[in-house]
Amino acid sequence: MKASTSRVALIGVVALLATACLAPLRSDDFARGVQRIDLGGGAAPLSLTYLGVGGWLIETPRTRVLTAPLLSNPSIWAAGLTRIRADTAAIVDGLRRFGVTDLEDLTAIISGHAHYDHLMDVPWIAARLSPRARILTNTTGARTLAPLADELGIDRARLVDISELAGDVEGGGEWIQLGPDLRMLPLVSDHAPHFVGLTLYDGSRAEDLVRPPVSAEQWLEGETLAFVFEMLGPRGEVQRRVYYQDAVAREPFGFIPATMDPVDVALIVPATYAEVAWQPEAILENTRARHVILGHWENFFRPPTVDPDPVPFTLLPDFVARLRRSLGGDDGRWSLPVPGTRFEIR
Ligand SMILES: [Zn+2]
């Protein structure tokens, strides 16, 4: 106990010193509103809207899907000490604030792991806002959501465990068709510790949960997945490739197959990056992304806002400095969006 307390104190001091030495982020480092990213090649338009935490609305001309949104944002004390549930008023209000008014035609809501900040709001959105969407998640996520699906009247057939379909850096895996012009490959990934080597709520579920989860510690991680999305053209050709991770992973976890062509856009996570070696460098080398967009960087223990602070325990300026170095100092190749920012990729 003493050793871990002094370790926390030491990390805190190091973090403070490091923060003091780093150039702070400036307001023009953050992307807001509508951002146009021109990658050329004559592909159809693709849009990516950041909703905070792991939440991205991905829209191709004919398909719309969502990755794990969190808009309930319980405080750090509530998440640690009390019962937590989806806050339906906060979900509706947060979506409206971020400019998302209609999720009726979503075909899928996707989450790579089952922590509450990635999955707690998903069943309510699926039940009330997106009645056609399948929920695609890892085995533990599907088992955790089972009683919530029953409570909310979601047909169990909409709840799909996709862990068995995951490929990895060696290849393999099975593509999942999400709509006429969008498909997705799950990838075996990993979840960095939250701080000082500790991972909260790790572990997995062998059986369906019997009653809906009521505390953060019931939202066990399971085996984390990452994803590649491919937007397809009229002849089935790949027009755009997007990488998405919802947690930092030790290399080579979360890597795309070594034989896959580079991705156009990588959505990567700064939160907890310093808990593993050589991130973000390793995932940038693997994906060879033309443009990098950061998600899951803001403090999600406060109500959703378009003007958030960085998440505690992560030195965002250091992460950005390393990202800049990896991209050869080209500031046109990365974006740090506030929630509500919409990227239009052409
Ligand atoms: Zn997590």
Q: Could you tell me the maximum CA-CA distance found in the chain, to the nearest angstrom?
A: 63
User: Is 7 part of a structural domain of the chain?
Assistant: no
Provide the CATH number for the domain around residue 49.
3.60.15.10
Q: Write out the residue range of the structural domain in which residue 139 sits.
A: 29-345
342 contact partners, CB below 8 Å, separation of at least 6: 33, 34, 35, 47, 48, 49, 50, 99
Tell me the two tokens of residue 175.
């593509």
pLDDT tens-digit readout, 167-199:
999 999 999 999 999 999 999 999 999 988 888
Residue 9 resides in a domain: no
On the CB side of 173, CA atoms within 13 Å amount to 26
Q: Give the 3-state secondary structure percentages of the chain, helix then strand then coil, rounded to 5.
A: 30, 25, 50
State the total domains in the chain. 1
Q: What is the share, in percent, of the chain residues with pLDDT greater than 90? A: 84
- How far, in Å, is the centroid of ligand 1 from the Cα of 49? 21
Write out pLDDT tens, residues 226-237.
999 999 999 999
DSSP bridge partners of 266: 243, 292
Model pLDDT, residue 134 = 98
What pLDDT is recorded for position 21?
60
> CA 289 to CA 248: how far, in whole Å?
16
Q: Could you tell me the distance, in angstroms and rounded to a whole number, from the CA of residue 216 to the centre of ligand 1? A: 11
In a domain, 165, yes or no: yes
10 domain residue, yes or no? no
pLDDT digits (tens, 9 = 90+) for 52-110: 999 999 999 999 999 998 999 999 999 988 899 999 999 999 999 999 989 999 999 99
Average confidence score pLDDT of the chain: 93
pLDDT in tens, 117-173: 999 999 999 999 999 999 999 999 999 999 999 999 999 999 999 999 999 999 999
Q: Is the pLDDT of residue 17 over 80?
A: no
Mean pLDDT, range 17-24, rounded to an integer: 61
Residue 40: inside a domain: yes
Whether residue 284 is contained in a domain is answered as: yes
User: Per residue in 93-108, is it b (16+ CB within 10 Å) or e — as a string?
Assistant: ebbebbbbeebeebbb
Closest CA to 222 of 294, 308, 323, 115: 115
Contact status, residue 162 vs residue 176, Cβ threshold 8 Å: yes
E strands, 41-170, are 46-50, 56-59, 64-67, 108-110, 134-137, 159-161
* Tokens linked to 103: 């999720």
Token pair in block for residue 8: 């926390």
Centroid of ligand 1 to alpha carbon of 138 (angstroms): 13
User: Which three-class secondary structure state does DSSP give residue 122?
Assistant: helix
Neighbours of 324 (CB within 10 A): 15
Q: How far is the CA of 130 from the centre of ligand 1 (A)?
A: 24
- Report the alpha-carbon distance of residue 28 to residue 295 in Å, rounded: 17
Distances (CA, A) of 301 to 95, 127, 293: 17, 25, 22
Closest CA to 209 of 113, 141, 118: 141
Does residue 23 lie within any of the structural domains? no
**Ligand 1 mean position to 41 CA, how many Å?**
36
- 232 Cα to the center of ligand 1, angstroms: 30
- What's the token pair of residue 318? 């250091």
